[in-house]
Amino acid sequence: MPAICEVGSWGFGVTSEGLKGLKGKLGLGIGAGNVVRFEARGKRNVGQVLALERGGMRQHVNGKGDGSQGENLHQISTVGNSTNIKWHCCSVGKLDREGLLNQKGCVIWITGLSGSGKSTLACALSRELHSRGKLTYVLDGDNVRHGLNSDLTFKPEDRAENIRRIGEVAKLFSDAGIICIASLISPYRKDRAACRALLPEGDFIEVFLDVPIHVCEQRDPKGLYKLARAGKIRGFTGIDDAYEPPVSCEIVLKEEGREATPPRELAEQVISYLYEKGYLHAQ
């Protein structure tokens, strides 16, 4: 009889024979009531729970199939600076939410220099997907600094924290079944890679707006390059701080002339990718 693993909001079937094989690798243990659990090993080190399915009736640990409260068997964990915490599973998971929305949750991460058109593309993409009946949300780098990240500066350590927080929020939107569009410079590969690592394989779609700095500087919609050249802004990406372009991203949108490609055309290129990969319908 297969066991159903419920980790956060996703699951997979494992035969009893396969379960024995996984026991040593994942730290599996069979507890009372045929509840199978394991302690996730690695940097996250979050205790998770497997529930055994019998006769088509799934037994939930923290919430039973009928919505009533079940016994919480999660082990207490330490994650970062948070101690004595547990991961609480819910009977409604990502696949349920995706089925309701008829789409697959994912993160479209738009990166590029200031003035490359990231925010414009994000809004155009959101509009085009909305017109197709798809639910999206845009996390714009500037917008997020008006609230959640208003306590952060533009020092290197704060810029890294800014990206980390946006990555975590984007992960939540994706888990909700929403197509989350994150638009921010995110100049360093390691920070973008850390955000990618938060999501299941394939659910982080990196879009590189490849626009040369001299074109971005000619556009200079916010007047920031002028201020950076005058020494009034320090650590400005592309001037006195590095931008590390992606080496293996999913989509590259390359522009070389001062006249920008219409945002709708760029958005359609991203939408074509989403169709091809099956993100615009539920599994």
Q: Is 178 exposed, middle or buried (0-12, 13-18, 19+ CB in 10 A)?
A: buried
Global confidence as pTM: 0.73
pLDDT tens string, the chain, 283 residues long: the values are 333 343 433 444 444 444 444 444 444 443 333 333 333 333 333 333 333 232 333 333 333 333 334 444 457 888 888 888 888 888 999 999 999 999 999 999 999 999 999 999 999 999 999 999 999 999 999 999 999 999 999 888 999 999 999 999 999 999 999 999 999 999 999 999 999 999 999 999 999 999 999 999 999 989 999 999 999 999 999 999 999 999 999 999 998 776 778 999 999 999 999 999 999 998 7
pLDDT at 192: 97
pLDDT of residue 110: 98
The reply to whether 186 belongs to the active site is yes
Catalytic residue among 9, 186, 248, 272: 186
Q: Containing H/E element for 29?
A: strand 28-30
pLDDT of residue 88: 86
Q: How far apart are CA 147 and CA 145, in angstroms?
A: 5
Q: How many CB atoms within 10 Å of residue 148?
A: 14
The residue with tokens 């909700």 is 176
> Bridge-partner residues for 206, per DSSP?
109
From the list 250, 278, 272, 282, the residue with the least C-alpha distance to 128 is 272
Distances (CA, A) of 202 to 174, 250, 255: 12, 9, 26
- The residue to which tokens 């009533």 are assigned: 68
Residue 38's beta-bridge partner residues? Answer: 28, 48
